[in-house]
Amino acid sequence: MEYETVIGLEVHAQLLTDSKIFCGCSTKFGAAPNSHTCPICLGMPGVLPVLNRKVVEYTIKMGLATNCRINPEDVFARKNYFYPDLPKGYQISQFDRPLAEDGWVDIEIDGKKKRIGIIRIHMEEDAGKLVHDETSPFSYVDFNRTGVPLIEIVSRPDIRSPEEATFYLRRLHEILVYLEICDGNMEEGSFRCDANVSIRPGGAAEFGTRTELKNMNSFRNVQRALEYEVKRQQYVVEGGGKVAQETRLWDDAQGTTLSMRGKEEAHDYRYFPDPDLVPVAIDNAWIEEVRATLPELPMEKRERFIGEYGIPAYDAGVLTATRALAEFYEETVKLTGKPKIASNWVMGDVLRYLNEEKRDIRESPVKPSSLADMINLIERGTISGKMAKEVFEEMYRSGKGPEAIIEEKGLVQITDEDALKKTIEQVLAANPSEAEQYRSGKQKLFGFFVGQVMKATGGKANPAMVNDILKKILSGR
């Protein structure tokens, strides 16, 4: 039987604020255990949380970037449950009045666009970190992460395959990073994802029973976990069984999902409005103020690059992967007027050298201005494309400009026609039998002569001129 897969995703993104959502403790990752805590985030009796304004601004930003409606009045609610990583016994979250609702993002797979709906985006606080002892019956609690601001982005069940799920996640990820409201680091948990998955017979109107998947900490694992879970559910159904509604953990090492049943109790969070936090009122002026700070988003930028610069979709995709890379590229184009050549250099040598050292484009020792200088030198014929490779490497290693390197290495291209003519004649004189063979029809030998000329000039001859002169001399005789 043909089954249709239905997936909805819940994404938690850590916001890039300096301090926590309800207190002034630092949000920096990797500090000594419990060194970023205070009576508020430790949940001491009698303390009062005060909302970090930036959290609201960042959430509005994400809401606008994903076409959501920004609700004019938003309320924090307590989600009650007991777990050692939650010092207060409740998490401050939002329930029936989240900040943003009813949005969407478009994804594009093999040139085909699809719209994925977003139910809601709400603000909440993160929980602490638990470290389990392998050898003794203890867990250790570090509350540094407690109170770090999160937004939860809940999609509609519009996703129909594990592949679509990954594309949607990448899309959210790039938007968050473009907005500079989340660092997107999945290993450090700044961007996390849970998935609701079900299958139903093709054409059915009702959803099947869903399972919730957790513990997938990379795009690849999300796709693997979903693929596994879809197969597992098909196997259960085809065996005459029923899919149980439960939470399952992805086990990376085994490549399977495991039921959490038994450990899990009935969820009854008893949400109610948090009396310690007054409602947030967002008027149009505030929304417009935030809207004015929105950058051009990745998909729009991609489309503009294709239209404005005439570069292939592939190039546009690579060059808009981050805002900094897109800026680097655009700056280079502005200074050269050569979009495709600039694209080749940025995607080629620039990214290759940076990737070798796992460096970010912002750390590139070659700045757009010197890359542009170099491209202009090629265009003017001062150096050949081949020489430029060498020049670029030196620019990257030393941080020097192209002119200085060309001068130091004596790399200037030979464009003196008489000098080239003389060298070519010498080459022909030194290889009389090849010259004879060429003239009697062995045209393939042309490349041999070009090679000899380049060799004789130490690679400095202007290749286009060598071709012209060589053709003239060989045919002229």
Partner 1 sequence: MKLTKAEVEYVAALARLEFSEEEKEKFTSQLNSILDYMDMLNRVDTSGVVPETHAITLRNAFRDDVVWKSLEPEEAIKNAPEERGSCFRVPRVIE
The residue from 36, 79, 120, 122 that contacts partner 1 (CB under 8 A) is 36
Residue 273 found at the interface with partner 1 (CB under 8 A): yes
Residue 17 found at the interface with partner 1 (CB under 8 A): yes
For the bound state, the minimum distance from the C-beta of residue 34 to partner 1, rounded and expressed in Å, comes to 4
C-alpha span between 13 and 182 (Å, rounded): 7
**Strands, E, within 226-293: which ranges?**
247-251, 256-259, 272-273, 280-281
The residue from 23, 193, 333, 375 that contacts partner 1 (CB under 8 A) is 23
* Cβ 340 vs Cβ 347: under 8 Å: no
Given the complex with partner 1, which of 38 and 236 has the nearer CB atom? 38
Kindly indicate which of the ranges 77-85, 119-127, 223-231, 418-426 contains the residues binding partner 1, using the contact rule CB under 8 A: 77-85
Cβ-Cβ contacts under 8 Å for 120 (sequence gap 6 or more): 68, 98, 100, 101, 102, 152, 153, 154
For the bound state, the minimum distance from the C-beta of residue 248 to partner 1, rounded and expressed in Å, comes to 15
Residue 161 found at the interface with partner 1 (CB under 8 A): no
Instruction: Using DSSP, state whether 147 is helix, strand or coil.
Output: coil
Q: Which residues pair with 10 in a beta bridge?
A: 154, 194
Q: Which residues pair with 78 in a beta bridge?
A: 92, 272
Given the complex with partner 1, which of 30 and 410 has the nearer CB atom? 30
**String of contacts with partner 1 for each residue 277-306, x by CB under 8 A:** xxxxx-------------------------
For the bound state, the minimum distance from the C-beta of residue 406 to partner 1, rounded and expressed in Å, comes to 49
Residue 86 found at the interface with partner 1 (CB under 8 A): no
Residue 83 found at the interface with partner 1 (CB under 8 A): yes
Residue 80 found at the interface with partner 1 (CB under 8 A): yes
Residue 45 found at the interface with partner 1 (CB under 8 A): no
Q: Which residues pair with 103 in a beta bridge?
A: 118
User: Burial level of 51, CB count in 10 A (0-12/13-18/19+)?
Assistant: middle
For the bound state, the minimum distance from the C-beta of residue 266 to partner 1, rounded and expressed in Å, comes to 9
- Tokens linked to 470: 């060589």
Residue 35 found at the interface with partner 1 (CB under 8 A): yes
The residue from 125, 142, 164, 194 that contacts partner 1 (CB under 8 A) is 142
Number of residues binding to partner 1, judged by CB under 8 A: 50
Taking the CA of residue 261 as centre, how many other CA atoms within 13 Å lie in the half-sphere pointing to its CB? 7
Instruction: Using DSSP, state whether 24 is helix, strand or coil.
Output: coil
* Cβ 182 vs Cβ 46: under 8 Å: no
Residue 204 found at the interface with partner 1 (CB under 8 A): no
Distances (CA, A) of 61 to 17, 203, 337: 14, 37, 34
β-strands 247-251, 211-216 pairing:
parallel
* Cβ 225 vs Cβ 214: under 8 Å: no
The residue from 69, 139, 307, 399 that contacts partner 1 (CB under 8 A) is 139
For the bound state, the minimum distance from the C-beta of residue 270 to partner 1, rounded and expressed in Å, comes to 7
- The residue ranges that bind partner 1 (CB under 8 A) are 17-19, 23-26, 32-39, 42, 50-54, 56, 73, 75, 80, 82-84, 130-133, 136-143, 263, 268, 270, 273, 275, 277-281
